[in-house]
Amino acid sequence: MSLSIATWNINSVRFRLDIVERFLREAAPDVLCLQETKVMDDAFPHAMFEELGYHYRLLNGQRMHHGVATISKLPLVEARKHDWQDNGEARHIGARLPNGLLVENVYVPAGGDVPDATVNPKFGQKLAFVERMTRWSEGLRDDTVIVGDFNIAPLECDVWSHKALLDVVSHTPVEVAALDALRQSHDWVDLGRNFIPPPERLYTWWSYRAADWRTSDRGRRLDHIWASPAAARAATRFQVLEDARDWGKPSDHVPQIVTLDL
């Protein structure tokens, strides 16, 4: 059985529903994990997904902020939600597929602008979130894929300039160390870098501030697809759809897709 799983921080699913539809018609993944949906569950735009055959949806929504959704052509037989901050923010939804594979969809806090928890509580919140995820991931089974916007670019080649971004939130040493501890907690395999090894360029986000994102190419790899060891061995293909950064009213992130032979 071939199974494709996509992840995309869409930065408002209702505002960008047209490009989500384009992506589903052109790429047709079996499962789509969205982050930053910015909509309450009762206002989610179900009709388009139904029309395209995505009859199964698990939602963890929030008005105007955050929010995650997992949308599938296949039944989702188990729903899971974690609030690692205990503050009501909608940042996680987990779904088990009929074949037993668990797909965890996560939106890690951005962390504010200043990489110092003593003056910027949001940065401390981000580090605490990742630490609690690390404790949680230690107990997962070896049949799991975790995807989403982790808001951390771990490798030097995951950003347009390692030197320029060392003190910029998303690429600081303390964040990179926290993400590496999460990765080691379950022997996660970073599928993006498994298929596109360093030091090859691999970005998933470009700021809206750039007048021409392609020319400046000041990207970062903030979005990730990781797999537990057994699931990673089934991965046969990995794609990053950079062209989606130019579609319609684009998100500042682009989708990624992994294909597994299970």
Closest by CA position to 225, among listed 19, 35, 53: 35
CATH number at residue 56: 3.60.10.10
pTM of the full predicted structure?
0.97
Residues whose CB falls within 8 Å of the CB of residue 8, separated by 6 or more in sequence, listed in order: 20, 23, 32, 33, 34, 35, 223, 244, 251, 253, 254, 255, 256
Model pLDDT, residue 254: 98
In sequence order, the 6+-apart residues with CB closer than 8 A to the CB of 207 are: 213, 218, 252
Exposure string (b/e) for 38-63, b if CB count within 10 Å is 16 or more? bbeeeebeeeebeeeebebbbbbbbe
Whole-number pLDDT of residue 141 = 86
Strand partners, 68: 35, 60
Per-residue confidence (pLDDT) for residue 64, from 0 to 100: 86
Please, what's the largest Cα pairwise distance for the chain? 50
The whole domain housing 185 covers 2-261
Query: Any bridge partners for residue 260, and if so which?
Result: 3, 235
Residue with tokens 């609690």: 132
Q: Residue 86: what pLDDT?
A: 84
Peptide bond into 197 cis (omega under 30): no
Extract the tokens encoding 242.
């950079």
Number of domains in the chain: 1
Q: What is the pLDDT along the chain (262 residues), one digit of tens a residue?
A: 899 999 999 999 999 999 999 999 999 999 999 999 999 999 999 999 999 999 999 999 998 889 999 999 999 988 899 998 888 899 999 999 999 999 999 999 999 999 999 999 999 999 999 999 999 999 998 899 999 999 999 999 999 999 999 999 999 999 999 999 999 999 999 999 999 999 999 999 999 999 899 999 999 999 999 999 999 999 999 999 999 999 999 999 999 999 999 8
Helix, strand, coil shares, percent, the chain, to 5: 30, 25, 45
AA identity, residue 192:
G
